[in-house]
Structure 1
Amino acid sequence: MLPVASLLILVPLIFAAVTFFTKTKDQAAGLGLIGSLVTLGLTLYAYLNFDSSTAAMQFYESVPWVPFLGINYSVGIDGISMPLILLNAIVIPLLILFSWKEDREAPNRFYGLILTMQAAVIGVFVALDFVVFYIFWELTLVPLFFIVNIWGGEKRAHASYKFFIYTHVASLVMLLGIFGLFYTALHQTGIPTFDIRELIAQFQFFESGLMRDAIFLAILFGFLAKLPTFPFHSWLPDAYTEAPTAGSVLFILLKIGGYGLFRISLPMLPNTGNPNLMIMMLGLLGSFSIVYGALLALRQKDLKRMIAYSSLSHMGFVTLGSAGLVALSVSGAMFQQFSHGLIMSIMFMSAGAIQTTTGTRIINDLGGLARKMPMLAVLMMVGFMASLGLPGLTGFIAEFLVLTFSFVNLPGFVLLALLAIVITAGYHLWAMQRAMFGVYNEKLGSIRDINSMQVFSMGVIALLVLYFGLNPSPVLNMMIKNSEAIVSLAAVMGV
C-alpha cells in the first residue's frame, strides 16, 4: 500500500518548492493547481481505502528518528484526521482557481506559500509523535504570517504580528506541557518516548493530580488559542479581516486547534485531577464563545469582519460539543470543523469578490448587488443560510448534534448557547438584505458578476454544503467510532 500519509505531506512541499522558482503568474498558479490536485488524488485514494468501522490508526508509518530520545517519524490517519485532510484537499485547488485571475506581486511566492500551508496542516493531522506534531504545528505560522504581511490590507503588519505573537506564545506554553508530559512519563517508566498515544496512556499513572492538571491546561491552552475560543481569540478578527481572500480561507482551513482537542486533550481529560471542573470550563468557554461571537458579529459594519466574528461563534460549538462527552456531541463537534471549513470558505470568497468588484466591504455602502451579480448572490445565499443553520445544509447537522446531545450532560450551557440562534439569524439576514437586495447603490458604478473560475470554485463548495447537509454519513461515519472511543474512556474513568 502507498505511504499515503507521508506523500500527503511531501507532494505539496515538493510542488511548493518548485513553484517558488516560477517566473510568471500562470506558471505559479498552474503548478500550484497541479500540486493540489495530486494531493486531492492521494486523499481520495486514502478515503476510498479508509475503514470507517474502526477507530484504529490506518496508513500507519513509523521510522526511528532520534532513538535515544524516543523520537520517531510516526504518522497515520484515523476518523479524527481523515475528514480534515479531505476538507483541505478539496478546498485548496478550488481556492487556487478562485484566485487565478487576481493580479498580485510575486505570485510564485503566493502560491508556493499556499502549498506550504497545506503540507504543514496535513502534517499536524497525521503526526503521531509530539516532536513531529509540534514541528508542523509551528510551520503553519510561517505561510500565514507572510500571506497576511505581504498581500493583506492596510493594517496587515499589525494583524500579522499580532497573529504570530499570540499563537506562538500559546504554542510555547503548549510545548511546556508536552515536555512536562515527556519528563514525568520518563521519570516513571525510565523509557523515553514522544509517541502521542503512549504518553496519553501513561498520563493516568502520574501520581500528582496537580501535575496532571497543569500539563493538561498547558496543552489545552495552545489548542484553545488556535481554535480560537474566548478569551484567547483577539488575534482572529484582525488576521481574518486584513488577510487577502486566499489567506482568510487558509485561516478557516487551520483546524489544528480543534483537531488537537480531539486527538490529545479529550483522551487526557478523564485522567486529570479535576475532570468535572475541566468539563465545566470547556462548556462555559464554548457556550460563551457562541453568544459573544454572535453579538459582536451583529454590530459589525464591515462584511468581512462580521464573518470573522461569526467564525468565532461557530467554533464555540466545537468546544461545547467536546465538553458534552456524548458520542454524538463529540461527533457533532468534529463535523462542525468540517462543515465550518466549507461554509466559511464560501462566505470569505463572497466578501473578497464584493470588495474586489465594488471597492468596499462596508455593508451600508452596498445594496442591490444581486441585480448586477446574480451568480454571487445565489452562492453567497447558500453560504449564509448554511451558516445560520438552515435544515438541509451542513451547518444544521453539526449544530443539531452538538446542542441535542450536549444537553444530556450540560443543559445549562446548551440553553445559554441557544440564545445565539436568533442573533445569528439576525446578523446573517441583515447583512444579506443590506448588501445583496433592495435598491442598487448607483455610487458603486458599473460592476460585473464573478468570473467563471470563481463561479465554479464557489459552486462546487456550495454543492458539497448541500450534499453533506442532506447526507452527512460519508463524513460522519468516519468520526463516530473515534468519538465512541473517547467517550468510552471517560465512562471507564467515571466521568
Structure 2
Amino acid sequence: MLPVLSLIVLIPLLFSAFAFLTKTREQARVVALMGTLITLILTLYMYFSFDSSSAAMQFEELASWIPSLGINYHLGVDGISMPLILLNAIVIPLLILFTWDDVRSTPNRFYGLILAMQGAVIGVFVSLDFFLFYVFWELTLIPLFFMVNIWGGPNKRHASIKFFIYTHVASLVMLLGIFGLYFAAWDQTGVANMGIAHLMSHFPMIGSGIARDAIFLALLFGFLVKLPIVPFHSWLPDAYAEAPTAGSVLFILLKIAGYGIFRVILPMLPATGTPDMMITILGLLGAVSIVYGAFLALSQKDLKRMVAYSSVSHMGFVALGAAGLVALSISGAMFQQFSHGLIMSIMFMSVGVIQASTGTRVINDLGGLATKMPKLAVIMMLAFMASLGLPGLTGFIAEFMVFTFSYVNVPTFVILALFGVVITAGYHLWAMQRTMFGVYNGKIGEVFDLSNVQTFSMAVIALLVLYFGLNPSPVLDMMITGSNEIVSLMAAMGV
C-alpha cells in the first residue's frame, strides 16, 4: 500500500530543502509549486479514497521508533483531520501562485519556509503518537517566526519574538500535560507507550481529580493560546499584521490548535475532576472571544489589524461549538475551521494587494477602490460577506450549526455570542464601504487591479467558499462521522 501519509509530510519538507538550495527566484518558485502540487495530488487521491462513513483511522502507518520509551512512528487520518489536510493542500499551491510575481530578497528562503510550514502542519494532523505530534507542533513555530522576522513590517522583530514566546511557553505547558499523561499511564500499566489513544484511555484511571484537572488544563492552555482565544490572543494581531501576506495566510492555515481540541480535549473532558467547570470555561471563553474580538475589530483603523481581530472573534466559534458537546455543534466548530481557512486567506490576500497598490492599509485613507480595482472588489466582497455569515456561503453553515446545536447545552453562552454577530456585520460593512465604495481618494495615486495569477488564486478559493457554502456535504459528512466518534469517546470516558 502506498504510504501516502508519510509522502504528504515528507514531500513538502524535501522540496523545502530543494528550495533553500536554489539560486534564483524562478527556480525557487518552480520548486515550491512542484512540491505543493505533488502534495495536492496525493491529498486528492487520499480524499477520493476516503470512507466518510467510517470513524476508523484510515491509511494508517505504524512502525517502532524508540521502543524503550514507547515511541512509535504512527500515522493515520480520519474525519477530524482529513478536511484540514485538504484545506492546506488546496490553499498553499494557490498561495505560491499568488506570490509568483513578488520580488523578495532571498526567495529561496521565502518559498522554503512555506513548504516547511506545510509539512509540519500536515505532520500534526496525521500524528497518532504524542511524541511525534509534539515534534511537528513545535516545528510549525520556526517557519512562522522567520517569515515574520525577515519579511515582516516595521515592527516585525517585536511581533515575531512575541509570537514565539507566547506560543512556545504555551507549548511547554502543554508538554507538561503530555508528560503527566505519559507517566500516569506508565504507572498504571508498567508499559511505556506514547500513543495518543493509549494515553487518553488511561486518563480516567488517574486517582486524583485534582491531578486530572491539572493535566487537562495544561493541555487546554497550550491549545487555547495557539488558537488563539481571549484572553490569550494578544500575540495574534501583531503577528498577523506585521507578517507579509504569505505569512498571514500561513497563520490562518495553522489549524492545529482547534484540531487538538477535537482530538485530545473533548474526549478527555468528561473524565476531568470537574467536568462542568471545564465546559463552562470553554463555552465562556468562546462566547467572550466572539463578542470581544468583534468589538476590537470594529475599533481598528488599520484594515489588516481589523481582519486579524476578526479572526480572534471567529475562533470563538470553535470553542463555543466544542463546548456544545453534541455531534452537530462539534461538526459546526470543525466546519468553522475549514471555512475560516478559506475566507481569511482571501481577506489577507485582498489586504496585501491593497497595500501593495496604494501603499497604505489605513481605512480612512482609502475609498472608491472598486472603480479602479473591480476584480478585487468582487472577490473581496464575497469574502467579507462569507465572513459575516451570509447564507449560501461557508461562514453561514458553520455559524448556524454552532449556534443552533450548542444551544442545547450552553444556551447562555450562545445568547451572549449572538451579540457578536451584529457587531461582525457592522465592521465588515463599514470597512467595505470605506475602502471599496464612495469617492475615490486621488491622494493615493494610480492603483492597479489583480494580476492574472492573483485573480486565479483568489478566484479559486472564492469559488470554494461558494461551493462548500451551497454543498457542504463533501467535507461535512466526514466531520459529522468524526464528531459522532468524539461523542462516543466522551461517553466511554464517563458521562
Flag whether TM exceeds 0.5 (same fold). yes
| 1:351-389 deviation line (CA, Å, top 9, x unaligned) | 000000000000000000000000000000010000000
Aligned residue type for 2:22: T
- Pairing 1:129–2:129 present: yes
- Are 1:178 and 1:215, in contact at CA under 8 Å, matched by a contact in 2? yes
Given that 1:283 and 1:323 are in contact with CA atoms closer than 8 Å, whether structure 2 keeps it comes out as yes
Q: How does 1:305-454 map to 2 (within 5 A)?
A: 305-454=305-454
SS at match of 1:133: helix
Structure 1: 5+ residue stretches without partners = none
**1:446: how far off?**
1.1
Q: What SS does structure 1 have at the residue aligned with 2:205?
A: coil
Residues 204, 493 of structure 2: 8 Å contact kept? no
2:150 matched residue in structure 1: 150
Counterpart in 2 of 1:48? 48
Q: 1:43 to 1:198 in 2, by over 3 A?
A: same
1:363–1:434 contact (8 Å) kept in structure 2: yes
What is the match of residue 182 of structure 1?
182
Q: 1:435 is aligned with what amino acid?
A: T
Aligned to 2:111, what secondary structure does the other structure show? helix
CA distance in 1, matches of 2:371, 2:454: 18
Q: Deviations over 1:395-448 (max 9, x none)?
A: 000000000000000000000000011100000000000000000000011111
Counterpart AA for 1:406: S
Question: How many angstroms apart in 2 are the aligned matches of 1:137 and 1:333?
Answer: 21
> Contact 2:389 / 2:399 at 8 angstroms: preserved in 1?
yes
Superposition TM-score, scaled by structure 1 size: 0.99
Letter paired with 1:308: A
1:492 to partner: Cα distance = 4.9
Question: What amino acid does structure 2 have at the position aligned with 1:262?
Answer: F
Which structure 1 residue ranges, 4+ long, deviate > 6 Å from structure 2?
A: none
Residue type matched to 1:138 in 2? E
TM-superposition CA deviations, 1:253-279 (whole Å, max 9, x none): 000000000011111111111111100
Aligned AA (1:330) = I
Please give the alpha-carbon distance, in whole angstroms, between the structure 2 residues aligned to 1:199 and 1:493: 12
Measured in 2, the distance between the counterparts of 1:476 and 1:167 equals 30
CA distance in 2 between counterparts of 1:491 and 1:194 reads 23
Per-residue CA shift, 1:103-123, capped at 9, x if unaligned?
Answer: 110000000000000000000
Secondary structure of 1:72's aligned partner: strand
Q: Is the 8 A contact 1:252 1:341 kept in 2?
A: yes
Aligned to 1:242: 242
Alignment check: 8 A CA contact 1:74 1:128 kept: yes
Name the SS for the 2:335 alignment partner. helix
> Where does residue 166 of structure 2 map in the other structure?
166
1:457 aligns to what SS in structure 2?
Answer: helix
1:12-31 pair list within 5 angstroms: 12-31=12-31
Structure 1 residues 11-160: aligned runs within 5 Å: 11-160=11-160
Residue 391 of structure 1: SS of its match in structure 2?
coil
Q: What do residues 101-145 of structure 1 show as CA deviations (whole Å, max 9, x unaligned)?
A: 011100000000000000000000000001100000000000000
2:221 is the counterpart of 1:224: no
Counterpart residue number, 1:297: 297
Contact 2:329 2:401 in 1 (8 A): yes
Distance, in Å, in 2 between the alignment partners of 1:492 and 1:264 is: 14
In structure 2, what is the equivalent of residue 486 of structure 1?
486
| Contact 1:148/1:239, CA 8 A, preserved across alignment | yes
Contact 2:268 2:493 in 1 (8 A): no
SS in 2 for 1:76: strand
* Cα distance, 1:18–1:492 mapped onto 2, change above 3 Å: closer
State how far apart, in whole Å, the 2-side matches of 1:439 and 1:63 are: 64
Q: Is the 8 A contact 1:20 1:109 kept in 2?
A: yes
Shift of 1:221: 0.6
Asked if the contact 1:270/1:489 (under 8 Å) is kept, the reply is no
Decide whether the 8 Å contact of 1:329 with 1:406 is kept in 2: yes
For 1:493 and 1:164, the matched residues in 2 are separated by 34
Shift of 1:494: 5.9
Residue 242 of structure 1 deviates from its aligned partner by: 0.1
CA contact (8 A) 2:267 2:493 kept: no
Question: CA separation in 2, counterparts of 1:273 and 1:101?
Answer: 55
Q: Per the alignment, in what secondary structure is the counterpart of residue 52 of structure 1?
A: coil
1:493: how far off? Answer: 5.2
Contact 2:271 2:493 in 1 (8 A): yes
SS in 1 for 2:72: strand
In the alignment, is the contact (CA less than 8 A) between 1:302 and 1:361 conserved in 2? yes
**Which residue identity lines up with residue 151 of structure 1 in the other structure?**
W
CA shift at 1:321, angstroms?
0.2
| Preserved contact between residue 17 and residue 112 of structure 2 (Cα < 8 Å) | yes
Residue 471 of structure 1: aligned partner: 471
Partner of 2:201: 201
In structure 2, distance between residues paired with 1:78 and 1:306:
34
Contact map agreement 2:271 2:494 (CA 8 A) in 1: no
Is the CA contact 1:85–1:125 (under 8 Å) kept in the aligned structure 2? yes
Which stretches in structure 2 are left out of the alignment for 5+ residues?
none
The alignment yields a C-alpha RMSD, in angstroms, of: 0.7
What amino acid does structure 2 have at the position aligned with 1:419? F
Query: Identical aligned pairs, as a percentage?
Result: 73
Distance in 1 between residues matched to 2:482 and 2:85, nearest whole Å: 16
How many residues get paired?
Answer: 495
Quote the Cα distance in structure 2 between the aligned partners of 1:66 and 1:419.
51
